[in-house]
Amino acid sequence: MKLNRKQQPEFKNIENINIPVPEKINLDNGIKTYIINAGTQEIIKIDIIFNAGSWYQEKPLIATIVNEMLIEGTKSLTSQQIAEKLDYYGAFIHPNPTKDFGNITLYTLKKYLPETIKILDDIIKNPIFPENELKTFLSKRKQQFQIELEKVTNIARREFNEQLFGENHPYGKKTKLKDYDLVNRKDVIQFHKRLYHSENCKIILSGKIDDSDIKLLNQYLGSKDWSIKTEAKSLNFDITYQPKMESFVEKENVTQSAIRLGKIIINKAHPDYHKLNVVNTILGGYFGSRLMKTIREEKGYTYGISSVLVSLKHAGYLVILSEVGANVAKNAITDVITEIKKLREEQVSQKELDLVKNYMLGDLLRSFDGPFEISASFINIIDLGLDTNYYDKAIEAIRTITPNEIILIANKYLQEDTLIKTIAGKYN
């Protein structure tokens, strides 16, 4: 039989996506803990998520400093001793401060968990933020910050967030260079005391887990000696800001400009979100998206462009972002707007929709392929306090959405004149 190379071999639509539901337990002190037992390697990851992002800080930088400096010294170990031990066991502790949370992640070989969890426990409960370490940290960070500010993509991000949320809102506020000189160690210690305690966190344990690992976790982080019995006071901020619909930050001598377009939009907690996510994927959520096709593959304006839905705890936003040739920034923005208009006005073909659906289902398979992928997929769901059946609903929405619904959703959420535009670099 002659091989027909023109014809795609028969393929199956993805029918079953096995979404493991994390097992939920409470440690002895009440910390909600999610357990994901999967994978083939003798490896463990522990994520601890504190409600301690920059949302909760009263002065600039404090939330980040606390999160990143936990490893810089405790009552019993110096910064160097902590680093030595972790490196010796081939373990990693990654701080990850965000707007809403202070996350700490430990990656460790299972056989060294007894040693490494002890360090994790110590840095969370007993950090001392030594004065000299703080000084070094700040002067180093101040320089790195200045370097980051040279990048058009960062200039655009800062301006865009400020326009979205306003300069006084924790999601919109820009860090300034002088902030690095005004940090007070007392505020750092106080922030840790106020927010890094057992009533203010969740834990996700993933990898090859058995009872002895859970027992160890309970023995350390499940202990009752780090409770302060107060909930973090939930601050509220209103977004009352009137944004400039278009803002431009000039930077000399650039070959590319960074562009961002977007708006405040629903987050994962909203029932329309799953469908909006399909619309966003068509627009700019995968390599074959309309924005990639037009702005990269037809016009050659950029190396890449994407459209992202960001779900924060207290808000969500859409951002379309790219770095484009400095002399075509205007054209690129016009093309983005045209693509959005098309989504609102013209029905997507069944062929394109089928492709996007299959791609998204395949992507979900990838998001659950392996213990750390599973935990990464659940972390945001758990953070937002959503039910673990979130992904079942996502699959349902992907499978059932119709071309008509796409037009409806696009018209409801993506009116072009509601988009804020930010350009950094050149714009003419």
Cβ distance 90 to 33 under 8 Å? no
Virtual torsion, Cα 203, 98, 389, 366, nearest 10 deg: -100
At residue 35, φ and ψ (nearest 5 deg) are: -115, 125
With CB under 8 A as the contact rule, the residue among 24, 30, 88, 392 that binds another protein is 88
- Distance separating alpha carbons of residues 414 and 357, to the nearest angstrom: 20
- Distance separating alpha carbons of residues 411 and 418, to the nearest angstrom: 11
Output the smallest distance, CB 9 to another protein, in A. 4
With CB under 8 A as the contact rule, the residue among 95, 114, 370, 403 that binds another protein is 370
DSSP, res 296: I
With CB under 8 A as the contact rule, the residue among 103, 188, 371, 379 that binds another protein is 371
Of 77-85, 223-231, 264-272, 414-422: span binding another protein (CB under 8 A):
77-85
Q: How many angstroms separate the first and last alpha carbons of the chain?
A: 60
Q: Which is nearer to another protein, 228 or 287 (CB)?
A: 287
If phi > 0 it is left, if psi is from -120 to 50 it is alpha, else beta; for residue 383 that is: alpha
Of 75-83, 156-164, 218-226, 393-401: span binding another protein (CB under 8 A):
75-83
With CB under 8 A as the contact rule, the residue among 325, 380, 405, 408 that binds another protein is 325
- Distance separating alpha carbons of residues 323 and 321, to the nearest angstrom: 7
Q: Which is nearer to another protein, 99 or 141 (CB)?
A: 141
Q: Which helix or strand (DSSP H or E) is residue 118 part of? A: helix 113-125
Which residues within the stretch 124-153 sit at the binding site for another protein (CB under 8 A)? 136, 139-140, 143-144, 146-147, 150-152
Q: Does 30 bind another protein (CB under 8 A)?
A: no
- Distance separating alpha carbons of residues 417 and 399, to the nearest angstrom: 30
With CB under 8 A as the contact rule, the residue among 189, 232, 254, 310 that binds another protein is 254
Q: Does 96 bind another protein (CB under 8 A)?
A: no
Which residues within the stretch 330-369 sit at the binding site for another protein (CB under 8 A)? 354-356, 358-359, 361-363, 365-366, 369
- Distance separating alpha carbons of residues 119 and 125, to the nearest angstrom: 10
Cβ distance 83 to 133 under 8 Å? no
Positions touching another protein (CB under 8 A) are 3, 5-6, 8-12, 14, 18, 39-43, 71, 79-80, 83-84, 86-91, 107, 109, 136, 139-140, 143-144, 146-147, 150-152, 253-256, 286-288, 296-303, 323-325, 354-356, 358-359, 361-363, 365-366, 369-372
